[in-house]
Amino acid sequence: MENETIAVLGGTGDLGFGLVLRFALAGRRVIIGSRRHEKALRRAGDANKVLSRYTDNRVSGMVNSEAVGVADISFLTVPYPYHVETVKGLNRNFKDKSILVSTVVPMEKTDQGLKPVIPLEGSAAMEIRRVAPKNVKMASAFHNVGANDIQNLEKKELNCDVIICGEREAKRKVMKLVKLIPGLRPIDGGPLENSVIPEVLTPILVNHVVKLKTGSLGIRITNLNYSADELIKIYMEKGVI
Ligand SMILES: NC(=O)c1ccc[n+]([C@@H]2O[C@H](COP(=O)([O-])OP(=O)(O)OC[C@H]3O[C@@H](n4cnc5c(N)ncnc54)[C@H](OP(=O)(O)O)[C@@H]3O)[C@@H](O)[C@H]2O)c1
């Protein structure tokens, strides 16, 4: 697990950059993916500047197509509705038997704030599943975590449950990555078809952030009195992951 390479596609943006910092801080090998090589390198430089205050660990930058070719796990952090065309464009490049994790939340503006968009396939993750190569396993995660908190390494302990949907093996690996970020707890969300559930929660969080100016918000499953480690152990014992 520790030797796995993580790519964050669109890791130049808000959520992706935060994931890059957190995984690198935890000692994982991380690549910032971008559509443009020079942007990937520039943002890798930005990330390394931040990281240098906390650790000797460093990240690299590549175009998305190169990044998915070497990554064991790729996180897709591009805005809806560019997720499908992005994955289609990378289809021939994914490393065999790698894992693709969607963080994509389909939302649109109304005069009362954001509302969910439910695609025909049921969720952004299922839209991606339709076009992603069959030899790539899929999961979805991080829909309900705020980018500001993830990016802020001064925030030592976050406060959020991360619902992870997808194929068993993919979920197991993603859960172990979620656990690396202090204060995040991985929650089994069932199969990828269930990804609509965490996806539709996000507009409520964002609408509160915007209207109440609260800073990043998250979700917690209450009365589930287990730590991240305990939950992963239980999920493994029960054959969930
Ligand atoms: N922000 C959050 O707090 C948050 C929380 C949970 C989930 N999410 C989800 O995470 C995803 C990323 O959100 P974000 O706020 O980080 O987005 P963002 O900062 O607006 O964009 C992320 C990156 O996507 C790439 N991108 C932009 N337009 C694109 C296009 N037309 N085609 C392909 N790539 C494009 C860009 O990378 P390059 O220009 O380098 O290619 C950009 O840096 C979204 O689907 C969002 O719903 C966000």
For residue 159, report the distance from its CA to the centre of ligand 1, in Å: 22
For residue 15, report the distance from its CA to the centre of ligand 1, in Å: 7
Q: Is 23 in the pocket of ligand 1 (CB under 6 A)?
A: no
Per-residue pLDDT of the chain (241 residues; tens, 9 = 90+): 568 999 999 999 999 999 999 999 999 999 999 999 999 999 999 999 999 999 999 999 999 999 999 999 999 999 999 999 999 999 999 999 999 999 999 999 999 999 999 999 999 999 999 999 999 999 999 999 999 999 999 999 999 999 999 999 999 999 999 999 999 999 999 999 999 999 999 999 999 999 999 999 999 999 999 999 999 999 999 999 9
Tokens of 98: 């790698």
Kindly report the pTM of this predicted structure: 0.98
Q: How many Cα atoms are found within 13 Å in the side-chain-facing hemisphere of 121?
A: 14
Tell the residue nearest (CA) to atom 32 of ligand 1: 82
Domains in the chain, CATH or no CATH each:
5-237 (3.40.50.720)
Distance of CA 204 to the CA centre of its chain: 19
d(CA 90, CA 53): 34
What sections of the chain are H helices per DSSP?
14-25, 37-51, 64-70, 83-90, 124-131, 147-151, 168-178, 196-212, 228-237
Q: At what angle do helices 168-178 and 228-237 cross, to 10 degrees?
A: 160
For residue 57, report the distance from its CA to the centre of ligand 1, in Å: 24
Q: Is 14 in the pocket of ligand 1 (CB under 6 A)?
A: yes
Tell the residue nearest (CA) to atom 35 of ligand 1: 78
* CA distances, 131 to each of 88, 92, 97, 119, 223 (Å): 6, 11, 16, 14, 38
